[in-house]
Chain A
Amino acid sequence: MQAPFSSIVPGSVVPPTLRVESELHDLRLDLRRWFEKNDPGPQPFEYEARMAALTRWQRQIHRAGFVGLSWPTEFGGGGMGLAAEAVLCQELAATSMPQLINRIALYTWGPTILSRGTPAQKARFLPGMLDASEIWCQGFSEPDAGSDLAAVRTRAQVSGDMLVVDGQKVWTSRAELSKWNALLVRTDPEGVRHSGLSVLIVDMGSPGVTVRPLLQMLGEPHFSEVFFDGVEVPLENVLGGLGNGWDVSMEAMAYERGLFVLERTTGLRRRFADLVDRLDALGKIEGAVASLGVLESKLDLLDAQVLRTLGHQENGTLVPGSSSVDKLFLADVYQDLFATAFDHLSDEGLDDGWIHDLLESRSVSIYSGTSEIQRNVIARRLLGL
């Protein structure tokens, strides 16, 4: 038996991808000119100095009018499409600091608030995201709820017009720098698994919040344990309604896999260019030509995947679960790039930066859903298994 043709053609065999070539030419030139003039030079190696420099950098880019290009103008954005963000990412990649410190806010929680937030939440939270005056973190993982996120036990009880939060999160990135925490908690103690969860926007300066930095593999206090002991959070800080935490979180994760992956990708491009420079300076480029070809083609493929995802996001046609492909492949390319760099530079030319990046690359297949979890999602949502 043969399936009818219309049922096998997904309507998107050749889905339109975000076009970044000819569109927005003026924006690209503006950015290029501005970045050339204002490039702050290599980022400090030392963690705290690096964080401070990155914060200043985002503030500066914001002042020039280039942060939040796709956000509505009424909230301080540029009122443009996602293609503008893509162009920013690409041009930012050519600078010495190819990342925005507040990316969790810009790429994940900002879009979620734009989609699900109340007018008051939009007015309160969006501006501080753009100028990096209020850094965001995301409190999902707990000691007993990692991959199995629905097992979160941190709870929040309604008491008048407040919620009172008790529990513990772990691996919260940049918690010590953050003003706000998008916190996934159980608000209905009777709720099973995905029901009864809510996302709260928690002020990290509230009484009862304790942040205990954890060193990661590189010895940097990149993430923390965060303890909540009777922390009061106004009810108006519930994002997307009480009990809708699972949906809100999943929507946030879908955003994360669009621009966030694009941003990581452009950062990788930058490091790839560094690698080519390094090999050239060492006179080793000829011997590495095939490896460089592999990396270049994987980077192009990753770009193609992300641009397609963004094209779907822009058109509202993103298939749930499909952006797991982006995350899975990002980890693959990320780890391949730094492993290749290590292999080709091991005899000479391997500075601490390359060692740092190789070690750090191991985190990419763990954070925001491990590669195994992405495969589970693809199996379940795309293949229906």
Chain B
Amino acid sequence: MGLEVAATLDHLLADHASTERLLEAAASEAPDSTLLTTLDEAGLTELAVPEEMGGLGLGLDQLCLVGWVGGRRLMPTLSRLKMTLVGPLVMDGLSGGPSAGAPWGCGFPAIGSATADGGQAEVWIEEKASAALVVGERSSRVVDLGHPDSVVEPEPGVDPGQGRSRLSFDPDASTVLTGADHARIVDRSRVLVLAELSGVADRVTEVSVDYARQRSQFGRPLTAFQAIQHKLADMRAGCELIRSAVSRLAWLEEPRPELTASLGAAAVSVARQVAEDAIQVHGGMGFAWEYGIHLYYRRCLALQQQLGGTESLRRFVGRSIIARRKTQ
């Protein structure tokens, strides 16, 4: 099941998210609404929803496969958020609001700093969205974007074209969602960030190996130089490590949010190094807008930020060691 879904997603993205289209979206700083609608219609928002609630109920390992494909093809961030958060959270407790497949805004619960209570949030917003989901660790808020106190300021940041914005809202005028499954859904959404990173890293490594094979200098392909071979080997090793992190989390019997945080902190650094090496292996081509290698780098950086920012993630993991000692 997961494999078929992933193959479908792969084809859709191959057709609708070519490098040119991705670059266009990045330049226009607006999410590609045609693509988002196409993916909604393909049923992306239902994948993580349990079967008894009318979804497809894919297991975490299968969702990771889908997320991995999304990473390879630089799937819109909003599509991941709708698949992992809007779908499962909204299906679980909203009446009268937009359906999960309608245009939405959605935030991502950064590790260690996630509350949904302030009147400020970073969200990703599609055109025509009427509501935004501000996700916290144990509860979320649905913010009516039509409310006079709801103000959206675009803040594209490092990975433009994804609809990233700053939302100010009146917490008292929003609807609170607290499902029994909330924490589990949040943990899964973080594991899916790692699955996406795994796809990004794998793809940019493949692209780099292909490039190094066909580009010649000094009368030899770049792959003949050991300095380049070793860089590519480090990249591949990084890919394996990230994949192992995803596997470890995907096969746990019970979610372990601390392990998600810890593996997440390690994986984002590894992925970032992979993407940086990819640029280096491509030389000037790696730095060119048109060739699009920067899109992989941007995505790695953006995912790193979403998960919690390097320094705060590290501190969060460090603090949890101390907290564990105190309870022992």
A305 with B232: in contact, given A19-B251, A297-B266 (CB under 8 Å)?
Answer: no
Are B318 and A296 in contact, with the CB atoms below 8 A? yes
Q: Produce 1/0 per residue, B233-275, CB < 8 A to A.
A: 1101100110111111011111000010011111100100000
A290 with B262: in contact, given A325-B240, A385-B229 (CB under 8 Å)?
Answer: no
Are A15 and B316 in contact, with the CB atoms below 8 A? no
User: CA separation between A280 and B323, bound complex, in Å?
Assistant: 12
**Interface hit among A239-247, A258-266, A370-378:** A370-378
**Interface hit among B3-11, B97-105, B131-139, B161-169:** B3-11
Q: How large is the interface on B (under 10, 10 to 19, 20 to 34, 35 or more residues)?
A: 35 or more
B223 at the interface (CB under 8 A from A): yes
B321 at the interface (CB under 8 A from A): yes
The count of residues in chain A whose C-beta lies closer than 8 Å to any C-beta of chain B is 48
Are A9 and B265 in contact, with the CB atoms below 8 A? no
Q: B288-328: which residues lie under 8 A (CB-CB) from chain A?
A: 311, 313-319, 321-322, 325
Query: For residue A378, which residue of chain B has the nearest CB?
Result: B233
Chain A proximity of B254: nearest CB distance (Å)? 8
Are B318 and A292 in contact, with the CB atoms below 8 A? yes
B81 at the interface (CB under 8 A from A): no
Interface SS majority for chain A:
helix
Are A293 and B240 in contact, with the CB atoms below 8 A? no
Q: Produce 1/0 per residue, A1-31, CB < 8 A to B.
A: 0100110110001111101011000000000
Are B65 and A13 in contact, with the CB atoms below 8 A? yes
B121 at the interface (CB under 8 A from A): no
A293 with B229: in contact, given A14-B247, A15-B247, A276-B321 (CB under 8 Å)?
Answer: no
Q: Which residues in A have their C-beta under 8 angstroms from that of B243? A: 13-15, 308
Are B247 and A9 in contact, with the CB atoms below 8 A? no
B209 at the interface (CB under 8 A from A): yes
A201 at the interface (CB under 8 A from B): no
User: CA separation between A378 and B265, bound complex, in Å?
Assistant: 25
Are B237 and A379 in contact, with the CB atoms below 8 A? no
- Of residues A307, A322, A383, which shows the largest number of chain B Cβ atoms within 10 Å of its Cβ? A383
Are A293 and B317 in contact, with the CB atoms below 8 A? yes
Are B245 and A322 in contact, with the CB atoms below 8 A? no
Are B325 and A290 in contact, with the CB atoms below 8 A? no
A294 at the interface (CB under 8 A from B): yes
A305 with B241: in contact, given A14-B250, A16-B247 (CB under 8 Å)?
Answer: yes
Are A383 and B3 in contact, with the CB atoms below 8 A? no
- Of residues B68, B237, B270, which shows the largest number of chain A Cβ atoms within 10 Å of its Cβ? B237
A300 with B263: in contact, given A2-B14, A379-B232 (CB under 8 Å)?
Answer: yes
A289 touches which of B209, B244, B254, B319 (Cβ 8 Å): B319
A303 at the interface (CB under 8 A from B): yes
Q: A257-314: which residues lie under 8 A (CB-CB) from chain B?
A: 276, 280, 285, 288-294, 296-298, 300-301, 303-305, 307-308, 311
Are B321 and A17 in contact, with the CB atoms below 8 A? no
User: CA separation between A307 and B315, bound complex, in Å?
Assistant: 26
Chain B residues within 8 Å of A, Cβ to Cβ: 3, 6-7, 10-11, 14, 61-62, 64-65, 68, 72, 195, 198, 209, 223, 226, 229-230, 232-234, 236-237, 240-241, 243-248, 250-254, 259, 262-267, 270, 311, 313-319, 321-322, 325
What are the 9 A-B residue pairs with the smallest beta carbon separation, nearest first? A293-B318, A293-B314, A293-B317, A289-B318, A304-B248, A297-B266, A378-B233, A375-B233, A301-B266
A-B contact pairs, 30 of them (CB 8 A): A5-B6, A13-B246, A15-B243, A15-B247, A17-B247, A17-B248, A22-B253, A276-B325, A288-B318, A289-B315, A289-B318, A293-B265, A293-B316, A296-B321, A297-B262, A297-B263, A297-B264, A297-B265, A297-B314, A301-B245, A304-B241, A304-B263, A307-B248, A328-B237, A375-B230, A375-B233, A376-B233, A379-B232, A383-B232, A383-B233
Given A291-B314, A294-B317; 11 other pairs, CB 8 A cutoff: A8-B10, A17-B244, A289-B318, A293-B319, A296-B318, A297-B263, A297-B265, A304-B248, A307-B248, A308-B248, A329-B241
Chain A residues within 8 Å of B, Cβ to Cβ: 2, 5-6, 8-9, 13-17, 19, 21-22, 276, 280, 285, 288-294, 296-298, 300-301, 303-305, 307-308, 311, 322, 324-325, 328-329, 372, 374-376, 378-379, 382-383, 385
